[in-house]
Amino acid sequence: MTQKDTIILGIESSCDDTSAAVLKNDTILSNLIAGQSVHQDYGGVVPELASRAHLKNIVPVVDAAIKKAGITINDIDAIAFTKGPGLLGSLVVGTSFAKTLALALDVPLIDVNHMYGHVLAHFINDHGKAKPDFPFLCLTVSGGHTQIVLVRDHLNMEIIGTTLDDAAGEAFDKAAKNLGFKYPGGPLIDKYAQDGDPDRFTFAKPKVPNYDFSFSGLKTSILYFLEKETRSNSNFIEENRNDLCASVQKTIVTILMEQLERVSEDMGIKEIAIAGGVSANSSLRARLKELGLSKGWNTYIPRSEYCTDNAAMIAITGRFMYEAKIFTDQSITAQARVPFTHSGS
């Protein structure tokens, strides 16, 4: 007898992307994302504008994801949504929507920790691409988080190192802001760095105990450096844009990789993955592959669509929780900060 297919609807609304995905077993049928350009001129996400945009987007995005997947709403076996961490006003929109739809369809409701989602994006079936073996280390780098996670099993993870101040994505975005780019500037630094010299400028790297990270010193050192240089040459940034981007990028990637290397050596783990929005960075991806070759690591890099915030990663996490029968109920509420467990409870 063949097992019945399981269809999970995933919903993600933790920051400034409204996303819905339909997952059939471990294969994505649709993964749609409505971004929010409204924040570009503000240098960061404006929470009130984000929640209003989620409200506008959530119904059309879910509707389009269901249509694109070629299913009907009655085919959905469970609804998985991001409970936290994230911006409360944004999370409330996805949470309320998921609760209402689960009630209307009378299907199980699954509350997912966004950070588990980033890690478990590696288990989406991507044309047979290899998946990490347990235990593995995952460097999860996004706009809000920087973590080295020891992944013992799909639903059993532990944070080994984290940032003491800014996240890696924030370091990219703040450096980008100082260079005059709109929010989020991380992808633009990546773009201009392709034609720049990464060794042209050097920025101090922090000394941080254990396996943690710190990026606030780098932010200040870039700011002071640019202020000093533009005092004597007001066109300094324009004239050196590509080299500045390449040098900033190299510094951030080196800080991340040096810690990851230390953890790998100390724990004797050679299964190494990256996840989160910053793992879309081309230099980080290339450096991980290089290190993999020189250190004998097996490396895992999700395709970019599954690195930045997306509902596919929430759906796959929901699938593991569905199999383990970990459900929530209508009393669930969104939470801006959650403990590091699969459902953030």
d(CA 235, CA 250): 23
Residues that bind ligand KG4 (CB under 6 A): 15, 142-144, 169, 172-173, 184, 186-187, 190, 276-278, 280-281, 308-309
Structure tokens given for 314? 């929430």
Nearer to Zn ion, 246 or 256 (CB): 256
> Using CB atoms, what's the residue nearest to Zn ion?
142
Nearer to ligand KG4, 187 or 318 (CB): 187
Say if residues 113 and 248 touch (Cβ distance below 8 Å).
Answer: no
Nearer to ligand KG4, 155 or 280 (CB): 280
d(CA 345, CA 166): 25
With CB cut-offs between 5 and 8 Å by kind, which of ligand KG4, Zn ion, none does residue 246 bind?
none
With CB cut-offs between 5 and 8 Å by kind, which of Zn ion, ligand KG4, none does residue 172 bind?
ligand KG4
**What single-letter DSSP state applies at residue 121?**
G
Say if residues 299 and 292 touch (Cβ distance below 8 Å).
Answer: yes
Nearer to ligand KG4, 111 or 173 (CB): 173
With CB cut-offs between 5 and 8 Å by kind, which of ligand KG4, Zn ion, none does residue 328 bind?
none
Closest separation in Å from C-beta 123 to Zn ion: 17
Closest separation in Å from C-beta 169 to Zn ion: 9
Nearer to Zn ion, 90 or 142 (CB): 142
Nearer to ligand KG4, 15 or 65 (CB): 15
Angle at the Cα of 15 from the Cα atoms of 212 and 77, rounded to 5 degrees: 105
With CB cut-offs between 5 and 8 Å by kind, which of Zn ion, ligand KG4, none does residue 278 bind?
ligand KG4
Q: Which of residues 136-155 bind Zn ion (CB under 5 A)?
A: 142
Closest separation in Å from C-beta 22 to ligand KG4: 20
Closest separation in Å from C-beta 142 to ligand KG4: 3
Closest separation in Å from C-beta 184 to ligand KG4: 4
Structure tokens given for 24? 């059939």
From the list 140, 133, 135, the residue with the least C-alpha distance to 113 is 140
From the list 43, 42, 14, 261, the residue with the least C-alpha distance to 145 is 14
Closest separation in Å from C-beta 142 to Zn ion: 4
With CB cut-offs between 5 and 8 Å by kind, which of ligand KG4, Zn ion, none does residue 187 bind?
ligand KG4
From the list 9, 180, 38, 175, the residue with the least C-alpha distance to 104 is 9
The packing angle between helices 236-267 and 186-193, to 10°, is: 100
Closest separation in Å from C-beta 235 to ligand KG4: 25
**What single-letter DSSP state applies at residue 241?**
H
Nearer to Zn ion, 31 or 142 (CB): 142
d(CA 78, CA 76): 6
Closest separation in Å from C-beta 327 to ligand KG4: 25
Beta bridge partners of 272: 137, 299
Number of neighbours of residue 242 by Cβ within 10 angstroms:
16
> Using CB atoms, what's the residue nearest to ligand KG4?
277
Nearer to Zn ion, 117 or 161 (CB): 117
Backbone torsions φ then ψ of 80, nearest 5 degrees: -110, 135
Nearer to ligand KG4, 137 or 141 (CB): 141
Closest separation in Å from C-beta 277 to Zn ion: 6
135: Cβ–Cβ under 8 A, 6 or more apart, which residues?
150, 151, 152, 269, 271
Structure tokens given for 299? 């490396």
Cis peptide before 85 (omega within 30 of 0): yes
Per-residue binder mask for Zn ion (CB under 5 A), 275-314, x = binder: ----------------------------------x-----
Angle at the Cα of 50 from the Cα atoms of 44 and 51, rounded to 5 degrees: 150
Chain residues that interact with Zn ion, rule: CB under 5 A: 142, 309
